Amino acid sequence: MSTEEDLLANYKKAYDNRVGFGTRPALLLIDFCQAYFEKGNALYAEVDEALASALRIRSVAHAAGIPVILTNVVYHPSGFDGGRFFEKAIPLRNFTQGNPMAAWGPGLEPLETELVVSKQYPSAFFGTSLASTLTAAGVDSVILTGLTTSGCVRASCVDAMSHGFKTAVVAEACGDRHAGPHEANLFDMNAKYADVVRRLLSQSATETLLKHSTTAFAENALPSDRRTRHRFAARQRRNFAIVRWSQGMELQLSP
């Protein structure tokens, strides 16, 4: 038996449970900032594919009526609001106000319908109103994408679970500067805090989702009141998308 097989067998004795998706999810895109895409920058991490995957999921989330939230890291030019984190991690100087490396990554700009949460620490929940915002909106689960797997994604994952949200982490839509910490942290998150998703949405799967969402919506009698009708439609799209995801038709859960 290989070392990897020993590890899997060992963990399976204690950590072999899946939580699944909730019924009212939100999608988070965590810290897709220019510094990670800028060759020559200390934070450069070859994570273009992770961003591309996150953007595909974002498109499907919007079509399904799922809230989308972007996070970034922003510091006062002095770094005073970064505390010990800013003191310890020197590359965080990239994220001071006005630094071009703090801009959004290639092809990513927040839409008017998307919430942007700016933070100073690894977790999207620490020192922000994110948990309260999601709770007030009736969200019961979060789907995490972003950078880096071993840093802000992991911290956000642990805090999401701690706040009571069912949590899924999309492996291919997360990235790190090396495969070692990326895979190690995915393994640990999947064991203890979240369900790690291993296969991403393809274009054909996206089209299938949209087609079936439209069909499911059309087959239901709509309330006459306009506001209620919009809420009903959004709920139908959300519920159908999550059923499709949980069945593994678009996203297949890792073993």
Please state, in angstroms and as integers, the Cα–Cα distance from residue 122 to each residue in 65, 127, 243, following that order: 27, 10, 31
The three-state DSSP-derived secondary structure of the chain is CCHHHHHHHHHHCCCCCCCCCCCCEEEEEECCEHHHCCCCCCCCCCCHHHHHHHHHHHHHHHHCCCCEEEEEECECCCCHHHHHHHHHCHHHHHHECCCHHHCECCCCCCCCCCEEEEECCCCCCCCCCHHHHHHHCCCCEEEEEEECHHHHHHHHHHHHHHCCCEEEEEEEEEECCCHHHHHHHHHHHHHHCCEEECCCCCHHHHHHHHHHHHHHHHCCCCCCCHHHHHHHHHHHHHHHHHHHHHCCCCCCECC
Among 159, 158, 152, 153, which Cα is nearest to 130's? Answer: 159
Domain boundaries, the chain: 19-200
The whole-number pLDDT of residue 16 equals 74
pLDDT at position 240 = 46
**Closest by Cα among 124, 172, 112 to 145:** 172
The question of whether 152 is a catalytic residue gets the answer yes
For domain 19-200, give the CATH number.
Answer: 3.40.50.850
Say what the pLDDT of residue 231 is: 55
- Could you tell me the strand order of the sheet in which 25-30 lies? 115-119, 68-73, 25-30, 141-147, 166-175, 195-197
Q: Do residues 22 and 165 touch, judged by C-beta distance below 8 A?
A: yes
Residue ranges, the chain, pLDDT below 50? 1, 201-224, 229, 232, 236, 239-255
**What does the pLDDT read at residue 176?**
98
What phi, psi does 104 have (nearest 5°)? -70, 150
pLDDT at 245 (0 to 100): 46
pLDDT at 223: 41
Among 148, 186, 137, 131, which Cα is nearest to 45's?
148
Task: Write down the pTM of the prediction.
Answer: 0.79
The answer to whether the beta carbons of residues 145 and 28 sit under 8 Å apart is yes
β-bridge mates for residue 26, sequence order: 142
Q: What pLDDT does 9 receive?
A: 75
pLDDT digits (tens, 9 = 90+) for 30-41: 999 999 999 999
Q: Given 33, 152, 157, 174, which residue is catalytic? A: 152
